[in-house]
Amino acid sequence: MHKPKSIIRTIAALGATVLLLLPKSAAVAQSTLFNVPSTDVVSKQKVYLEFDFLSHFKRHADGGFQIYAPRAVFGVGRGVELGVNITAVDTFAPKQPVYISPNVKWQFYHNEKAGVAVSAGGLLYLPIAHRAGADTYGFVYSVVSKKVKADYGPRLTGGGYALPGLADGLGAKGGAIVGYEQPLAKKVTFVADWFSGRNAFGYVTPGFSFTLPKSSLLNIGYSMGNHGRGNNALFVYYGITF
């Protein structure tokens, strides 16, 4: 059975990080791949809404859980987006913390001709319900991406992150960010991302992204922990831009 602290960190790892991404062939600009932040930002005066669902397929009494994470991101212009995430978990242990995560990202360099972009940003993980034993901390990062100029050319993302304010004993307080996107067809892309470190963010997630009508998308993947299989989970999210 998951311990409460483990569940809290799983929420932070799988339910957040600054939001949503896809390759340039997609109709929707996003802010993350699955978990790791991308260099993309939502366009000015656009709104991106997303709902994430994660599930570890065991009975709750044996460590199974479900995570629910709605998100909203607003493009404010000049390469800046502002967002907020809310994350809740359903598991055997009652009264798990509910987190709200305000976040910001700034794409401060973008060279479309070279296929290169650089962004930085951060989130605050703030418990708003069932706060006993829950930690408040930050997540800051910087990432650079390179899009290969070719039909179905991939995009690679790399960078680093830090967790200021994370309590001692909860794992590494920073690490590397790696992402890979490979278009397979006009509306289908293979996506994989990874956070290094033995902590709540330390996961690798491969999967597929499907571009849908009306500026929407569906991502389906599987998150696997660097520190063992106890928190592995199916990861499904739907997003739409207005």
List, for residues 110-156, the tens digit of each pLDDT value.
999 999 999 999 999 999 998 777 889 999 999 999 999 999 999 99
Please spell the DSSP secondary structure of 150-169, one letter per residue.
STT--EEEEEEEE-TTPPTT
195 within 8 A of 161, measured Cβ to Cβ: yes
Q: What is the pTM of this model?
A: 0.84
| pLDDT at site 3 | 44
d(CA 111, CA 99): 36
Kindly tell me if the per-residue pLDDT of 65 is higher than 50. yes
Q: Where are the domains of the chain?
A: 4-241
Average pLDDT over residues 70-81: 96
The pLDDT confidence band at residue 18, using thresholds 50, 70 and 90, is: very low
Q: What is the pLDDT of residues 30-51, one digit of tens each?
A: 578 999 999 999 999 999 999 9
Nearest alpha-carbon partner for 176 in 155, 202, 156, 154: 202
The pLDDT confidence band at residue 68, using thresholds 50, 70 and 90, is: very high
| pLDDT at site 133 | 76
Q: What is the pLDDT of residues 1-10, one digit of tens each?
A: 444 444 444 4
d(CA 105, CA 122): 7
Q: What is the pLDDT of residues 211-237, one digit of tens each?
A: 999 899 999 999 999 987 777 999 999
Q: What is the pLDDT of residues 51-64, one digit of tens each?
A: 999 999 888 888 88
d(CA 28, CA 240): 7
Q: What is the pLDDT of residues 162-214, one digit of tens each?
A: 999 998 888 999 999 999 999 999 999 999 999 999 998 999 999 999 999 98
Name the DSSP letter for residue 79: T
**Is CATH 2.60.40.420 what the domain over 4-241 is classified as, yes or no?**
no
Kindly tell me if the per-residue pLDDT of 19 is higher than 50. no
Average pLDDT over residues 99-117: 96
| pLDDT at site 12 | 42
- Ranges assigned E (strand) in the chain: 47-56, 65-77, 80-91, 98-111, 116-129, 137-147, 155-162, 174-185, 188-195, 203-212, 216-225, 228-241
Nearest alpha-carbon partner for 158 in 1, 54, 49, 33: 33
